[in-house]
Structure 1
Amino acid sequence: MVFGMKTILLILAGALALAAPARAQVAGPVGHGELPSCPDVGGNHLNYAPATGTFSCGTTGGVPALADGTVLGNVSGGAAVASALTPAQLTALVQPFTAGLPGAAPASGGGTANFLRADGTWAAPPGGSGGVVGAHRYWALGNMISTARTQPPTMGECYLAATVGGANLIPVASTSTDTYGGQPLSNVYDGDTGTNWGSNNYAPSPFIVFDYGVPVGAAQITITSRSGSWYSQTPQIFDVLFSDDGVAFHKLGTFNIGAFASALQTKTIPLPTAL
């Protein structure tokens, strides 16, 4: 069979076309071009060829690899490409903590007196709930345990002072849930070590209250054991409490002033000024 030159050329061109791999065309920013190369490794099968005609190679879904502990976001005030946020920027994006919403706690302003309230604000709590103890009109002793442990508490003198090493505070009145006949509680702040207060029972322990007439602070307590051979009944362990109305008392803490070894022995210990 005889072929013309044009026929032979057409046959050769067709054979070459069948032997060569197909080449796809993609839309680029200008005209057309061949599909760009991007190896299918490292998650690249999730990439795409955008209108620019280039793959975002080496990424996953177009998002760059992130350093450990990094969060992407946008704080530009408008639509923008995500970028790594600083801790301050991330905190600013979190809604504030309120009574109805979880979120970031507001800045405290420093110090140790204020506590975060349920409404999302910082404030000094009322007495007995934390923070500075402050001044109160009524101070009390309870749960008293004597050196002898199983004998009713008794004391020669008992004073609070507003400052460590300061002058003794003198109550204007006092009460006790238990008093031995002829030994009233007022004897412990009369300045006379020859008198004393005594109680009848150690279980339950007497609860004694000092009324100072006006709010006073308490930075230390001083106790003098009673005269005579009953000094071992002087309270060694006791609770200190305070109140603003003489009804609701708040516990400052439990304290151990130490065992009394003799009559008319005086012991002083500091009290905390914050709970």
Structure 2
Amino acid sequence: MVFGMKTILLILAGALALALPARAQVVGPVGHGELPSCPDSGGNHLNYVSATGVFSCGTTGGVPALANGTVLGNASGATAPAAALTPAQLTALVQPFTAGLPGAVPASGGGTAHFLRADGTWAAPPEGGGGAVGAHRYWAIGNMIATTRTQPPSMAECYLAATVGGASQIPVASTSTDSYSGAPPSDLYDGNNGTIWGSNNYSPPPFVVFDYGVPVGAAQISVTSRNDATWYVQTPQLFDLWFSDDDVTFRKLGTFNIGAFTSALQTKTIPLPTTL
């Protein structure tokens, strides 16, 4: 059988075409070789084609069906497949917010007296923030200035009443930042005018905290001067009144001037505001 030169060339071209893998049709240069023709994708959108030309679902086997409200992530501390995160894990992955960055709110510690500040901390409202004063377990008298203004403050009795003209409320405990020997703050509510609480120092002024055991209101305060004819001038004329729900964070009710004391065992009473 005789074949022409053109016939032989066509046979050789056909044999080479059968021996080589199929190639994708690409317009223009590809670089790093030609693309292989696409195999069957499986008919879904979860797979991708790798450099081997084989569709793959990746190392996790694809994205699983998710329950409503589920977030995928990795909170393991190392490289790992994505998994559904618990609310606690998701919160831990979010940075705390700052003055310049959005983020998670820090834990409040509970209670109803504090608000979230712009610097990311919880604090008592500023003075004069408005609203009713209400009842509180802890009340404190501080920044006391005696009538003479140059003596450490001291007094015989000090009581709060829940209503104007009402009965005196008796604390269950008390503390003071400063007391001299034999004159503890408990003497301020022992019902005995012969005992006194006294401070060793004028500056800084002492801070006396009354613990009533349960929240109580304060509509008036009464102060009784010392029981001697010489040192009654140490009884505070000016003072601040504070309140707290936890004995940690105190909010100032105001600064009050009860008036100068002019004799021993003199009792002065003034009303207190019920709103800030």
- Tell whether 2:268 aligns with 1:270: no
Whole-Å separation in 2 of the counterparts to 1:145 and 1:131: 28
Please give the per-residue CA displacement for 1:24-57, whole angstroms capped at 9, x wherever unaligned. Answer: xxxxxxxxxxxxxxxxxxxxxxxxxxxxxxxxxx
Report the counterpart of residue 194 of structure 1 in structure 2. Answer: 194
* 8 Å Cα contact 1:240-1:253 kept in structure 2: yes
Change in Cα spacing, 1:250 to 1:177, as seen in structure 2 (3 Å) is same
How far residue 127 of structure 1 moved from its aligned partner, in angstroms, is 9.2
SS in 1 for 2:243: strand
Report the counterpart of residue 254 of structure 2 in structure 1. Answer: 253
Instruction: Name structure 2 gaps, 5 residues minimum.
Output: 1-115, 118-123
SS in 1 for 2:187: helix
* 8 Å Cα contact 1:241-1:250 kept in structure 2: yes
* 8 Å Cα contact 1:139-1:209 kept in structure 2: yes
AA partner of residue 145 (structure 1): I
Paired residue total: 153
Please give the per-residue CA displacement for 1:184-224, whole angstroms capped at 9, x wherever unaligned. Answer: 11001000000000100010000000000000000000000
How far residue 126 of structure 1 moved from its aligned partner, in angstroms, is 6.6
- Tell whether 2:159 aligns with 1:168: no
Whole-Å separation in 1 of the counterparts to 2:254 and 2:202: 20
Whole-Å separation in 1 of the counterparts to 2:197 and 2:140: 15
Please give the per-residue CA displacement for 1:91-128, whole angstroms capped at 9, x wherever unaligned. Answer: xxxxxxxxxxxxxxxxxxxxxxxxxx99xxxxxx9796
- Tell whether 2:199 aligns with 1:235: no
AA partner of residue 157 (structure 2): E
AA partner of residue 236 (structure 2): P
Whole-Å separation in 2 of the counterparts to 1:249 and 1:127: 11
TM-score, length-scaled by structure 1: 0.54
AA partner of residue 258 (structure 2): I
* 8 Å Cα contact 1:236-1:258 kept in structure 2: yes
Instruction: Name structure 1 gaps, 5 residues minimum.
Output: 1-116, 119-124
Alignment RMSD = 1.8
Whole-Å separation in 1 of the counterparts to 2:225 and 2:135: 27
SS in 2 for 1:145: strand
Whole-Å separation in 2 of the counterparts to 1:183 and 1:143: 18
AA partner of residue 193 (structure 1): N
Report the counterpart of residue 207 of structure 1 in structure 2. Answer: 207
SS in 1 for 2:215: strand
Aligned residue runs from structure 1 range 54-69, under 5 A: none
Q: Percent identity?
A: 74
AA partner of residue 162 (structure 1): A
AA partner of residue 152 (structure 1): P
Report the counterpart of residue 217 of structure 1 in structure 2. Answer: 217
How far residue 263 of structure 1 moved from its aligned partner, in angstroms, is 0.3
Report the counterpart of residue 12 of structure 2 in structure 1. Answer: none
